[in-house]
Structure 1
Amino acid sequence: MKRYEESEGGEFRYIQIGFISPEDKAIIFDNETGEVLIENFETEEKEFLSNSLVELKSNLKMEQR
């Protein structure tokens, strides 16, 4: 979190809400646009995942056993 705060001038633009292992990627929420993104820790590249947390939740499917 400190890295995000420092890179955005003291404001939390990106908030980590999950982690993808072993790919070293984070699921992040863009506090400015509301989008949900996947960030690669090594390259700091961001990949679009969803327009919002609500959209992401509605697109999740539970696996039945």
Structure 2
Amino acid sequence: TNPPPSGTSQRRVVAADGSTTVFKGPGAEFGEARSVPNGSIVTITGRTSGNWTELVEGGWIFSFELEPI
């Protein structure tokens, strides 16, 4: 695999119920984009808004469902 782009880093999804939802913006009110299974590795941009973290892959995920790897 390729390393993440400069300024980004990777995180592991740690959702309590087996998966988590990625939203189109920083909040549930923006609508669901997709679901990500627990244990997945995602790349974050470093940009946050409140309790939300932006993904390089597109969309926003609840920050508390991510852990450093």
Q: Would you call these one fold, judging by a TM-score over 0.5?
A: no
Which structure has the higher relative contact order (CA within 8 Å, separation 6+)?
Answer: 2
TM-score for the superposition, normalised by structure 1: 0.26
Larger Rg: 1
Identify, as 1 or 2, the structure richer in helix. 1
Identify, as 1 or 2, the structure richer in strand. 2
TM-score for the superposition, normalised by structure 2: 0.26
